[in-house]
Amino acid sequence: MKKLFLALLLVVLAAPPATAATQKRTVVYYQTQYSNGATGTYVSPKPLVDRGTGVTDLLVAAIHLNDNKVVHLNDHPPSHSRYTQMWQDLAAIQARGVNVIGMVGGAAPGSFQRLDTRFDEYYPLLRDTIRTYKLNGVDLDVEERMSIAGIRRVIDQLKADFGSGFIVTLSPVASALRGGGNLSGFNYEELYRSHGSKIAYFNGQFYNGWGSAANTSNYDQIISRGLIPANKVVLGTLTNSANGGSGYVTISTLRSTVTSLKTKYANFGGVAGWEYFNSLPGGTAAPWQWASEVTAMQR
């Protein structure tokens, strides 16, 4: 009897709390690794975990598959010595449970045209980069024309090569998720119908005129179509008015929007910020504060 009691006690102690809540995503884009240009100061992402911000996903940007078949992370190969400390810091972040995801493409054209029309030549470059730097996933930011067959092939091959646990996200402009304006050349709702199970989430760009994070209306329009669920739509925002155009909303406005969204949608997908190094309210002195505030407003 005593042994049975001890066994039951161990089971109870080992069980997770029944009330444990699933954390919503706090997604941070990390493109500026050096402030003030090439000769500037290294911007470490480690405070995001050292300060306990609750960041869930860090998207290191931007991977380019160049025409000369050399992979670049921004303006240099990812093996360049300028990135040595960064890769060490990213590994430390991964060890703390944060997903490190490579963002491919973005505003610089070419990578997805090559994956679309010369897949056998260029996909291995992406695959080998993922393997070398042990990335948890990729964010496919298609801002150029690409066929739907081409993006499906990329997603399928990534899953085949890296398994079901590998994270595949996409970053369309928000209007593309509700049948509106689109930069990618393929229909995202059509893609979701065939490949939704393979897409972890969308980082919708709710800025630059493609959508707004000032209120819930554009997010609501996506969910009301009844196809893409809220848990797969992350509210993408600018973290500073200097970061890439129009549509920046203050942290207080963002808090109001997020509070409404998490009330409306129990499975709200989270918030993403472009980008890390100068995020307000902390700015360059304390850019990690944005993630901390976003995590707090989602709880």
**Per CATH, the architecture of 22-298 is what?**
Alpha-Beta Barrel (3.20)
Given 3-state DSSP classes, what are the helix, strand and coil percentages for the chain, each rounded to the nearest 5? 40, 20, 40
Q: Which region among 21-35, 158-172, 276-290 has the lowest average model confidence (pLDDT)? A: 21-35
Amino acid 252: pLDDT: 98
**DSSP-assigned beta bridge partners for residue 100:** 58
For 69-226, where are the E strands, in sequence order? 71-73, 99-105, 137-141, 167-170, 201-205
Q: What are phi and psi of 173, to 5 degrees?
A: -65, 145
pLDDT at 40: 86
Q: What is the pLDDT of residue 22?
A: 56
Q: Is the peptide bond before 62 cis (omega within 30 degrees of 0)?
A: yes
- Confidence at residue 36, expressed as pLDDT on a 0 to 100 scale: 78
SS3 state of residue 27: strand
What is the pLDDT, as a whole number, of residue 37?
Answer: 67
Mean pLDDT of the 128-145 span:
98
Write down how long the chain is.
Answer: 299
User: ∠ at Cα 254 (270, 21), nearest 5°?
Assistant: 35
Q: What local confidence, expressed as pLDDT, does residue 3 receive?
A: 40
pTM, two decimal places: 0.91
Cα–Cα dist 111/123, whole Å: 10
Of the listed ranges 17-21, 36-40, 240-244, the one predicted with least confidence: 17-21
Range 21-40 average pLDDT: 84
Q: Where are the domains of the chain?
A: 22-298
**Using the 8-state DSSP alphabet, how is residue 173 labeled?**
B
Confidence of residue 38 (pLDDT cuts 50, 70, 90): low
Average pLDDT over residues 18-47: 82
Tens-place pLDDT, residues 71-129? 999 999 999 999 999 999 999 999 999 999 999 999 999 999 999 999 999 999 999 99
Cα torsion angle, 285, 288, 291, 292, sign: negative
pLDDT value for 164: 95
- pLDDT attached to residue 15: 31
Picking from 33-47, 81-95, 124-138, which range would have the lowest pLDDT averaged per residue? 33-47
Q: pLDDT of 237-282, one tens digit each?
A: 999 999 988 999 999 999 999 999 999 999 999 999 999 999 999 9
Q: Which residue has the higher pLDDT, 120 or 5?
A: 120
Please count the CA atoms within 13 angstroms of the CA of 98 that sit on its side-chain side: 30
Q: What is the pLDDT of residue 20?
A: 31
pLDDT of res. 14 = 34
